[in-house]
Amino acid sequence: MNTPDIFSIVKAAIKIAPYINDTPIITSSYITQITNASIFFKCENFQKTGSFKIRGATNAIMSLHDNQLVNGVATHSSGNHASALAKAASIKKCKAYIVMPKNSSKIKCEAVKYYGGDIIYCEPTLKSREETLKQVIENTGAIEIHPYNNYNIIAGQATAALEFIKNINHLNLIITPVGGGGLLSGTAIAIKQLSPNTKVIGAEPITVNDAFLSFYSGELHPPTNVNTIADGLRTSLGDLTFNIIRNKVDDIITVSEEAIIEAMKLIWTRMKIIIEPSAAVCLAILLEKKIEYKNMKIGIILSGGNVDIYNLPWSK
């Protein structure tokens, strides 16, 4: 597949529609009041498997022929992609081999098992994850489905922005979290085609600012630190997502851990919905006043709601 365009994104939307939720877009009068902006939240925390990841995983699975799926699919992930791929594979009744670090949260492991994934545990290092996945693929013949550095994944993630812009037009800004860049790059492709005057911004923890550094240096930077409560954003950009982001995203902005916690608490308490820390980084940009946004019309993609309720960031 070539770099996704609006036609491949629409095709992906049609392909995955029977298997995902067209998630709601909601507002908060309180957040509107304190920010003095019209903010619309696309609630991917209400998505199947609890995050936007099911969009890309389903599109990737559905884009393969049945004979390609005979030996199953495989990936390494400790988070939302793991359960999303397991769920998507179950639709086609094929095996999903998920390499997970042995220190992965019990809740996330249970979700993968619930959706039918076979977990292979490894040491909690990137080297171990990659080497274990390589061995699994050699042993099984499974096809690797990368969490973000895959054009079918990117096209699938872009469908969230497609739904957004169909319902709420003339946005001044749209903000998504950025970790590996699948959601941000897909969003940028869709928005720049359908609403070219809308600025696309990525939000990232300041402690794990590799996407920010990559965006402004023009060279791909691996993360040198993974110390953030936004565990879904601890990964680095891939070469595919990096190239799209460089060409189509308007800015990447970093936020403090304190602002992420404040934004997460605000959404929990005022909007009465559960989001994970990685989803809170977008609102954190506004709370820290990192950009001028007064009286603007702003879209925020709440990327997911998979959080360990027994290990909340404000309880530490």
Q: Tell me the catalytic residues.
A: 53, 78
Q: How far apart are CA 37 and CA 293, in angstroms?
A: 7
| Sign of the torsion formed by the C-alpha atoms of 136, 64, 149 and 174 | negative
Nearest to 62 by CA among 146, 152, 159: 152
Contact 47, 21 (CB under 8 A): yes
Tell the residue number behind the tokens 């095996």, with chain if given. Answer: 95
Nearest to 264 by CA among 276, 254, 253: 276
Q: Which segments within 44-188 are labelled E, that is strand? A: 73-76, 96-101, 118-122, 143-144, 173-177
**Rg (Cα) of the chain, in Å, rounded?**
18
Query: Which element (helix H / strand E) includes 81?
Result: helix 80-91
Helix, strand or coil for residue 145?
coil
